[in-house]
């Protein structure tokens, strides 16, 4: 009688109070084939059975679980390794405990608060701060804001590329150092306008690391179900920073202590230097060789920044109606346009690791175009509304900042709040359409502003404007994530490039809006009173903005339309 093998199945669960290495997380299914004592047969011979052991490791908050499945069978003695299939979650770089997650998020929230405050603190006081630095307010008003955003846009993609070589924490600290250097340079130098521009550019380059690296880290390390909550906490901190910036700028300039506009960021820098090395840990980080630094898209960064600078110079010079400047304007705009075309061609065929991945842009060109159009709307509104309030209502810097707060804070809170709602509960297309409908309605409402419009009406319109922008931004990010998943593209890169496109749109819109507004002021100056001149100029720009918003709303109708027809997209 043949010997029959008895099948035994033993499950041993080992709970460890602490994993041996809490900074490293993994899940693996390992099946080990090993010999075990056999069963005595009828003829007295002892046979050896093969034992198969399966070890499964799961990352949890406080324990590691090992499941040992022992199956005796007549199979060859071998060692097999099976790796679990990748999850749909975008977490790739490891697991960290919940407490450490929150400490990291608190660090990111402080960064977001400081950057939002520093970026917005100049908006209500730009004409006055330009005068403090002995420059021409009618010509150079927007340059401190423009150079900041230009440097920010240029270095966002650079920081993300280099962090894979030097590490996330190191690049965050490097960005913080650069930002602090710009702050010290402005604070300790005499009030000269070129010094202000250089310092703001350095600050923008440093802030780019604190804008681009935290979202990339969250998408790499945190599951989506918890990431939305953390994003809301960070956006809430940005809203607090926006309130501080728009309020403190007017207070400091009114009290003739305008240097505190820059000093106020120093305590945040000191605090971040202390907590960033402690809160941001290199969890599951695999760095690339340093020689890959030569493959960073230096040429693309240079072409992009040079082309944008040329375009901005042309747009700024176009403010003047002097015929002698027409040739310079045409040359600058032409060189900038050609430079941008060359940049796109180089990014398509010449760059080994392109600054702008055209493969990501092809995920949904209409969505990225909507992102660009919306950035133009936001920037033009932020530039023209303070000019209208100051020229028509003679509003102070503090009042101007207070009226802008409903728009910016509502936009940020709605963006973060909607992201908390699970995407299974709503489709992204109808929020996108609703957001653009509000954008069109708010832009049309701004065309009705005149010398008789009250500040209360301005606040109500600002609330609706912020609501529309917040819904649109949230729906756009959801659309990019869904479309990227369908096309097997990186969701992280799609969202980061959307932020880059939005920042570049801000840069162009600020210069062009200031130029167009001042041109309309010169045209209307011959026919109206000063208040009517500002009102008519503002109305002209808002009409153009309403047309642009209508075009963006029309494009939004076709976002994801092809994929929805094919039935392959949750839209």
> Sign of the CA dihedral 287, 290, 291, 292?
positive
**397 by DSSP, 3-state: which?**
helix
**Which has the higher per-residue pLDDT, 410 or 292?**
410
Average pLDDT over residues 393-397: 88
Are 58 and 64 within 8 A, CB to CB?
yes
pLDDT on residue 289: 60
pLDDT category at 538 given cuts 50, 70, 90 is very high
Are 122 and 261 within 8 A, CB to CB?
yes
For the record, the structure tokens of 243 come out as 């309130």
3-state secondary structure 554-568: HHHCCCCHHHHHCCC
Which residues touch 544 (CB under 8 Å, ≥6 apart)?
A: 516
**Which has the higher per-residue pLDDT, 26 or 310?**
310
**82 by DSSP, 3-state: which?**
strand
pLDDT on residue 422: 58
pLDDT at position 41 over 50: no
Are 150 and 507 within 8 A, CB to CB?
yes
Spatial separation of the C-alpha atoms in residues 471 and 429, rounded to whole Å: 11
pLDDT at position 59 over 50: no
What DSSP state is assigned to residue 135? S
Are 321 and 378 within 8 A, CB to CB?
no
> Sign of the CA dihedral 83, 85, 87, 88?
positive
pLDDT at position 31 over 70: no
Are 549 and 436 within 8 A, CB to CB?
yes
Average pLDDT over residues 368-377: 93
202 closest CA partner among 273, 161, 151: 151
pLDDT tens profile 430-450:
889 999 999 999 999 999 999
Average pLDDT over residues 450-473: 93
Spatial separation of the C-alpha atoms in residues 76 and 79, rounded to whole Å: 10
pTM of the shown model: 0.76
Q: DSSP string spanning 1-57?
A: ----PPP---------SS-S-TT-----EEEEEEEE---B-TTSPBPPEEEEEEEEE
For the record, the structure tokens of 106 come out as 């608190």
pLDDT at position 557 over 80: yes
pLDDT on residue 527: 76
For the chain, domains (ranges, CATH) are: 1-85 (no CATH), 97-297 (1.20.1250.20), 356-571 (1.20.1250.20)
Are 149 and 507 within 8 A, CB to CB?
yes
**446 by DSSP, 3-state: which?**
helix
**59 by DSSP, 3-state: which?**
strand
pLDDT on residue 18: 38
**Which has the higher per-residue pLDDT, 132 or 27?**
132
Give percent above pLDDT 70 in the chain. Answer: 73
For the record, the structure tokens of 218 come out as 């969250």
């Amino acid at each position: 009688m043949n010997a029959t093998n008895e099948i035994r199945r033993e499950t041993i669960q080992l709970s460890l109070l602490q994993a041996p290495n809490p900074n490293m997380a993994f899940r693996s299914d390992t099946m080990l084939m090993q010999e075990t004592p056999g069963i005595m047969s009828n003829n007295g011979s002892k046979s050896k059975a093969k034992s198969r052991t399966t070890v499964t490791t799961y990352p949890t908050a406080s324990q590691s679980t090992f499941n040992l499945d022992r199956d005796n069978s007549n199979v060859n003695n071998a060692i097999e390794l099976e790796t679990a299939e990748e999850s749909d979650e975008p977490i790739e770089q490891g697991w960290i405990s919940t407490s450490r997650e929150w400490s990291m998020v608190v660090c990111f929230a402080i960064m977001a608060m400081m950057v939002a405050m520093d970026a917005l603190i100049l908006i209500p006081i730009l004409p006055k701060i330009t005068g403090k630095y002995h420059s021409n307010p009618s010509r150079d008003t927007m340059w401190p804001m423009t150079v900041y955003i230009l440097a920010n846009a240029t270095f966002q993609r650079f920081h993300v590329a280099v962090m894979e070589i030097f590490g996330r924490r190191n690049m965050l600290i490097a960005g913080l150092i650069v930002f602090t250097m710009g702050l010290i340079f402005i604070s300790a130098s005499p009030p000269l306008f070129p010094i202000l521009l250089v310092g703001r550019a350095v600050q923008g380059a440093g802030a780019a690391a604190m804008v681009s690296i935290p979202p990339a880290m969250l998408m790499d390390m945190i599951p989506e179900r918890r990431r939305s909550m953390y994003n809301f906490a960070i956006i809430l901190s940005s809203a607090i920073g926006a309130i501080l910036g728009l309020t403190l700028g007017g207070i400091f300039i009114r009290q003739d202590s305008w240097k505190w506009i820059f000093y106020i960021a120093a305590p945040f820098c000191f605090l971040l230097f202390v907590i960033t090395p402690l809160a941001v840990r290199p969890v599951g980080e695999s760095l690339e060789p340093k020689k890959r630094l030569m493959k960073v898209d230096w040429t693309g960064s240079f072409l992009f920044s040079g082309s944008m600078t040329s375009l901005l110079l042309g747009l700024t010079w176009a403010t003047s109606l002097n015929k002698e400047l027409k040739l310079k304007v045409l040359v600058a705009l032409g060189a900038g346009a050609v430079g941008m075309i060359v940049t796109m061609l180089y990014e398509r065929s010449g760059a080994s690791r392109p600054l702008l991945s055209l493969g990501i842009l092809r995920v949904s060109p209409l969505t990225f175009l909507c992102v660009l159009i919306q950035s133009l709307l936001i920037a033009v509104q932020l530039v023209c509304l303070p000019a209208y309030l100051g020229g028509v209502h003679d509003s102070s810097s503090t009042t101007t900042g207070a009226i802008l707060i409903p728009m910016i804070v509502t936009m940020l809170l709605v963006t973060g709040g909607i992201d908390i709602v699970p995407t299974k509960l709503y489709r992204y297309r109808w929020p996108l359409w609703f957001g653009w409908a509000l954008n069109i309605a708010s832009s049309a409402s701004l065309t009705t502003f005149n010398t008789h419009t009250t500040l209360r009406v301005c606040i109500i319109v600002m609330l609706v404007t912020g609501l529309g922008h917040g819904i649109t931004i949230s729906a756009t990010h959801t659309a990019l994530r869904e479309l990227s998943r369908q096309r097997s593209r990186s969701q992280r890169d799609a969202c980061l490039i959307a932020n880059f496109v939005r920042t570049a749109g801000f840069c162009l819109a600020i210069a062009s809006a200031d130029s167009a507004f001042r041109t309309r002021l010169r045209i209307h100056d011959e026919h109206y009173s000063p208040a009517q001149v500002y009102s008519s100029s503002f109305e002209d720009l808002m009409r153009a903005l309403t047309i642009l918003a209508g075009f963006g709303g029309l494009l939004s109708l076709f976002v994801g339309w092809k994929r929805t027809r094919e039935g392959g997209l949750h839209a």
